[in-house]
Amino acid sequence: MWNEVTASSILSAFSPSLTADYQQWLVDNPGKVGRLDEIVDMVVGEFRAALESNPETVMDTTAGTLPPSCLRHASNIIIFQLKGEMEQTLTEAENAAAIRADVFLRGIWMESIPAGSAAVTQTPSYAGPHEFQEFAQ
C-alpha cells in the first residue's frame, strides 16, 4: 500500500523550531504561500517517474503516492529544498540525509533499487520448512 505525500504530511514531520521558522518565513514572504505544495509535487513526481521507469515496479495509480520505502527519502529531499529556499543552513545530519536520499533516488532511476517492485511492496509470508528441504541435504 502506497502513502499519499502532501504538504500537511511533510509539515507534521517538521521539528517545532522548523515549524516556527517556516511560519515566520511565510509571514515575511507571503508570495511563498503554496511553495511547499509545489516542492512536494515536484519531488513526488520525480520519485514516481523514477519508479515508473523500472518495469518491475507495480505502480499505485493514485497521484501523489509513494511506496513506504521512498517516504523518508522523499521527505528529506523536500525539507532540503525548502530549507534552501528559506536560506537556512542544514545541519551535518540533514546534509547527510539529503545525500543519502539523492543516492537512493538515483538508485531507483538506475534500477538498482527495486523500491516499488512487487517483491518489495508485497507482505512477507512464511513458506514453511518443507520449502527448504533441498538445501538441508
| Mean pLDDT, the chain cut into blocks of 10 residues (137 residues total) | 95 94 97 97 96 89 94 95 95 93 92 67 44 40
User: Position of cell 509545489?
Assistant: 38
CA 74 to chain centre: 2
pLDDT value at position 118? 57
Show the cell assigned to 29. 514572504
Contacts with 68 (C-beta within 8 Å, 6 or more apart), sequence order = 1, 2, 3
The dihedral over CA atoms of 77, 80, 81, 83, expressed in degrees to the nearest 10, equals 150
Task: HSE, CB side, 13 Å, CA atoms: give it for residue 134.
Answer: 1
pTM of the model: 0.81
pLDDT value at position 54? 87
